[in-house]
Chain A
Amino acid sequence: MKRREFFGATAAMAVTAGLAATTAAVAQDQTYTIGVSIPSATHGFMGGLNWHAQETIKRLEATYPQLKFVLATAGEAGKQVNDLEDMMATRNIDGLVVLPFESEPLTGPVKAVKDAGKWVTVVDRGLAIDGVEDLYVAGDNTAFGRVAGDYFKANLPSGAKIVVLRGIPTTLDNERVDAFQKAIEGSGIEILDMQHGNWNRDDAFTVMQDYLSKYPQIDAVWAADDDMAMGVTEAIAQAGRTDEMWIIGGAGMKEIVKRIMDKDPQFPVDVTYPPALISAAIEMTALRFVSDTPVYGRFIIGSTLITPENAERFYYPDSPF
């Protein structure tokens, strides 16, 4: 059963990580410990991110025996700060891969790690001040909104009416929505409404039900997230209006990718914002310690369109997301 494996893997990881800490000091060869600090799996996207982080660490530890990893997940910013302090104090890490829960509170603690002479990779959410991190790996929120917007512009006639579901109010959500609005500018497409569905299926279901009561004509929905798209499709089915509109989600959840592969008319395409971006960050950080490959700088992962033709490439049936 999957749960068991997960538990086994975690336990094994904890044991190896524990051993690593004790053996690192006595080992003859140069070994490195890399700390990985990410938010815990509170929703679909983060669940996928956690899964990819664990898979990547498993693979890298098998490939490079001289590398050890310490993985910590935090449910809030305060806990993440504690995790970083613990990694510095007790695990003696050489490098850190961190996806800050929030930019402001984490800036100081991450800077302290950097000031102690460690390698720092920051993932997805930038810090409040520039120049702290050696490597920055992130998705492209502007492109996320623009690619979706371009698809709407190209596939809807002037005068078409759409509704938008927004995420949790954050800068990241604003960037996406601004880029989307800019992309459809001048197309004659009318945005009827934009409400927050908080990247949550239940909230999206409720908001979409109300959209459907309010507007007799809706031609398409930008759900902006695959979890929200799942709630939206249920609300539309309940209203019996499945044939009237299509939905564009976002991220690349396996259920949605599957429907694109199956050419479901309700889900023509999807826009990626891959949770596997954490894998890119961990791999590149590992390269820094096992080779002379230059990995400092900024690495921005593009948001691309998943279509029935290329969907195979984005389909991970084993991932929880």
Chain B
Amino acid sequence: MLKGRLSLSTLGPLAALLVLIALGAFLNSNFLSSGNITNVLARSAFIGMIAVGMTFVITSGGLDLSVGSMAAFIAGMMILAMNAMLPTLGIGVPLVLAGMAVALIVGVLAGLTNGLLVTRARIEPFIVTLGTMGIFRSLVTWLADGGTISLDFEARQFYRPVYYDGIFGITWPIITFALVAVAGQVAMRHTRFGRYCEAIGSNDKVARYSAVKVEWVRLMTYVMLGMLVGLATILYVPRLGSASGSTGVLWELEAIAAVIIGGTALKGGYGRVWGTVVGVLILSLIDNILNLADLVSPYLNGAIQGVIIVLAVVLQRGKSSAEGR
């Protein structure tokens, strides 16, 4: 049983990842250097954490288009809050912790808004999150006065190590991403919550008759996603110390693409968190390889990405349908 699962449908994205790694190593000797690997993993961390949350939302039959705008909005709020608290708290750990708290709270509230509109007001998730996507994006542009919101220079110098440093040479974004991925995998496979998500996504009526609190579980998936967007923002802000209307553009589509590449069904009912992680890495690696090797005109980068995304999914669908899934 386990062997059957590992052999076929799961191999698609994993094989694509391995091919990409081999290709990268073949094209450029610096590809496997620790510096480059750190860069790619740290870059993947933002979309990665968001995509793990997105896996639960999609598995339970939902969708969230607002995460990119939400990340920009949270980053804006966090920076404004930290700048405002600077005179009272001074530069130090309390300021950073307060900023992190703001990011998480705003993230949870934003997720709660999406979730309540979907579960209580019973509006299609696509429409709800399309709406909030526009709202969050405009709000951050407005907060920034059309420009860029920047964290105070001194505060930023203090906060900067949260992105760039770590322990044992592994940077914090990578550590956090790994922890989130493991927690997500466990939650999906080994907890009641994960099983409920799959049950609701396959057939919410049956789930309801089986005494699953469908609305509550759905709401929690959105809240969790909001919190993870907040967590991603906490690690994003120290990177450049700024947020603007162009922060996080198209993150939602990258996150959704990663989830689907990883083998989660877009219509819900089946979720695979580690597959999502593979999907995120595939997307980051394509960009990285295209930058490292002058394979094609940069005008065609988008086309190459598109081809690989479709191929990764085709491989897997072909094999999984043979398996009867």
A residues adjacent to B (C-beta < 8 A): 2-3, 6, 40-44, 46-48, 50-51, 166, 169, 193-196, 200-202, 205-207, 209-214, 227, 230-231, 234, 238-239, 255, 319-321
Contacts and interface: CB of A to CB of B under 8 A. Distances in A.
Contacts of A212: 35
A184 B144 CA distance: 37
Contact of A50 (B35, B146, B148, B242): B146
Rank and list the top 4 A-B pairs by shortest CB-CB distance, nearest first: A320-B147, A41-B146, A47-B146, A210-B291
Contacts of B39: 209-210, 213
B319 interface: no
Given A6-B145, A41-B141, A214 B242 contact: no
B203 interface: no
A321 B145 CA distance: 10
22 contacts: A40-B146, A41-B146, A42-B141, A42-B246, A44-B244, A46-B146, A51-B146, A51-B147, A169-B298, A196-B298, A202-B240, A205-B239, A206-B287, A206-B291, A213-B33, A213-B35, A214-B28, A231-B240, A238-B164, A255-B150, A320-B144, A320-B145
Contact of A44 (B30, B33, B148, B164): B148
Contacts of A2: 145
Contacts of B33: 213
Contact of A214 (B164, B244, B292): B292
Contact of B292 (A46, A50, A213, A319): A213
Contacts of B148: 44, 47, 227, 320-321
Interface string B281-301: 000000110011010001101
Given A196-B298, A205-B240, A214 B145 contact: no
Nearest to A49: B146
A2 B246 CA distance: 20
Contacts of A231: 240
A212 B35 CA distance: 10
B43 interface: yes
A166 B292 CA distance: 16
B245 A201 contact: no
Contact of A47 (B31, B164, B245, B288): B245
A41 B239 contact: no
Interface residues of B, number: 34
Nearest to B35: A213
B225 to A, nearest CB: 21
A2 B240 CA distance: 23
A194 B301 CA distance: 13
B145 A3 contact: yes
Interface in B18-35: 28, 30-31, 33, 35
A238 B161 CA distance: 10
Q: Which of B142, B291, B301 is the most central at the interface, judged by chain A CB atoms within 10 Å of its CB?
A: B291
A239 B35 contact: yes
Q: Which of B33, B39, B142, B147 is the most central at the interface, judged by chain A CB atoms within 10 Å of its CB?
A: B147
A205 B163 CA distance: 13
Contacts of A201: 240, 242, 244, 246
B298 A213 contact: no
Nearest to B141: A41
A166 B298 contact: yes
B54 to A, nearest CB: 19
A3 B142 contact: yes
Nearest to B39: A209
Q: Which of B143, B144, B244 is the most central at the interface, judged by chain A CB atoms within 10 Å of its CB?
A: B244
Contact of B143 (A3, A40, A230): A3
A150 B117 CA distance: 57
B214 to A, nearest CB: 37
B284 to A, nearest CB: 9
A233 to B, nearest CB: 10
A43 B246 contact: yes
Nearest to B150: A255
Interface string B128-163: 000000000000011111111010000000000000
Nearest to A233: B240
Given A195-B291, A200-B249, A234-B240, 8 more contacts: A41-B245, A166-B298, A194-B298, A195-B298, A210-B288, A213-B35, A319-B147, A320-B144
A239 B33 CA distance: 13
Contacts of B31: 213
A44 B244 CA distance: 8
A287 B33 CA distance: 61
A117 to B, nearest CB: 33
A169 B299 contact: yes
A307 B35 CA distance: 35
A213 B147 contact: no
A140 B88 CA distance: 47
A50 B147 CA distance: 9
A51 B145 contact: yes
A47 B147 contact: yes
B247 interface: yes
A202 B298 CA distance: 17
